[in-house]
Amino acid sequence: MTIIGNWKMYPSLSDALVLASRLKQELEKIRGVEIVLAPPLPWIIPIQEQWHYHKHGVQFAAQSLAAADQGAYTGETSNYFMKDIVGQVIIGHSERRQAGETKEDVAAKLASALKWKLKPTVCIGELRPVLDGGKLEPIGWHHLLTQAKAVLAGLKESDFPKLGLAYEPVWAIGGGKAARPEYVAEVLDRLMIALTDEFGPNVKEITWLYGGSVDSTNAVDYLRLKEVDGLLVGSASVKAKEFIQICHLASSLVSQ
Ligand code: PGA
């Protein structure tokens, strides 16, 4: 089971260091859960220094990295540069897609992450609900399926176990309007059937996450779904108590 905390651009350096020190004490006690923190990029090294970080406990992810390795790319940082600092990277978050990142950009970033052996979690999600009383809304479904297929199209089947796919309905992000667990289960079932048809049974080897207004009151409802292997948590991940509670809940499900 995997729990990723996406801190987005929320905490200042001082807030990030306070949050990290509160998390460290508790998170290191948690067993059976892969816990990944994605702070703002420039705060990762100060947090690691404060933690006397070694690569065995909690892992770190970048929230986005460039597809190129090195060169004239002002403002960018590459998988190649970050490979000794983080073990993972989030790719194609909807907030980046809304800012202009295309599915081709996402595919190129994914290829770079795999090349430099950073574990990628690629985000996909529809803009408006795609299911209404069991009926599919064709335009939204096509959008979601196209995004998912574009992620898998450039991969070999042997890459699937290295990949995380975070299903984050865009309408459920940030606003406290989490998708109902039954909705998530049904969309993921349909996605897995469609993707297995096209890409083969190894689609099941992907780590499937849910994200969108996850907090400690609803986390278990998603984690109990057979379709879901973990969570991508945004705003609740910068509240120490909330995030620790989510990780404890995940751990208690693993040990059941
Ligand atoms: P949220 O964000 O938990 O604040 O909805 C999730 C995400 O954007 O990854």
pLDDT tens per residue across span 51-86: 887 766 899 999 999 999 999 999 999 999 999 999
Query: What is the amino acid identity at position 117?
Result: K
Percent with pLDDT over 90 in the chain: 90
pLDDT at residue 191 greater than cutoff 80: yes
Q: What is the pLDDT of residue 215?
A: 97
Q: Say yes or no: CB of residue 232 within 6 Å of ligand 1.
A: yes
With 90 as the cut, is the pLDDT of residue 91 above it?
yes
Q: Is the CB of 92 under 6 A from ligand 1?
A: no
Question: Is 93 an annotated catalytic residue?
Answer: yes
Examine the residue annotation and report whether 168 is marked as an active-site residue of this protein. Answer: yes
Closest protein CA for atom 2 of ligand 1: 234
Ligand 1, atom nearest to 175 Cα: 5
Residue 217 structure tokens? 């009151």
| Mean model confidence pLDDT for the chain | 95
Band the pLDDT of 170: cuts 50, 70, 90: very high
206/202 Cα distance (integer angstroms): 7
- Take atom 6 of ligand 1 and give the residue whose Cα is closest: 234
Q: Is the CB of 96 under 6 A from ligand 1?
A: no
Catalytic residue among 93, 126, 143, 242: 93
The pLDDT, as a whole number, for residue 132 is 82
Q: Which of 243, 240, 55, 152 is nearest to 231 (CA)?
A: 243
Confidence check: pLDDT of 155 > 90: yes
Which amino acid residue places its CA nearest to atom 1 of ligand 1? Answer: 234
Q: How much is the pLDDT for 136?
A: 87
Contact in structure between 184 and 210 (CB atoms under 8 Å):
yes
Q: Residue 57: what pLDDT?
A: 80
pLDDT tens for 7-54 read 999 999 999 999 999 999 899 889 999 999 999 999 999 999 998 877
Q: What is the pLDDT of residue 54?
A: 73
Rounded to two decimals, the pTM is 0.96
Q: Are 161 and 200 in contact (CB under 8 A)?
A: no
- Most distant CA atoms of the chain, gap in Å: 52
For the beta carbon of residue 239, count every other beta carbon within 10 angstroms: 17
Ramachandran class of 100: left when φ > 0, alpha when ψ lies in -120 to 50, beta otherwise: left
Q: What are the tens digits of pLDDT across the range 210-235?
A: 999 999 999 999 999 999 999 999 99
Options 95, 126, 168, 242, the catalytic residue: 168
Question: In ligand 1, which atom is closest to the CA atom of 123?
Answer: 9
Instruction: List, for residues 130-149, the tens digit of each pLDDT value.
Output: 998 778 899 999 999 999 99
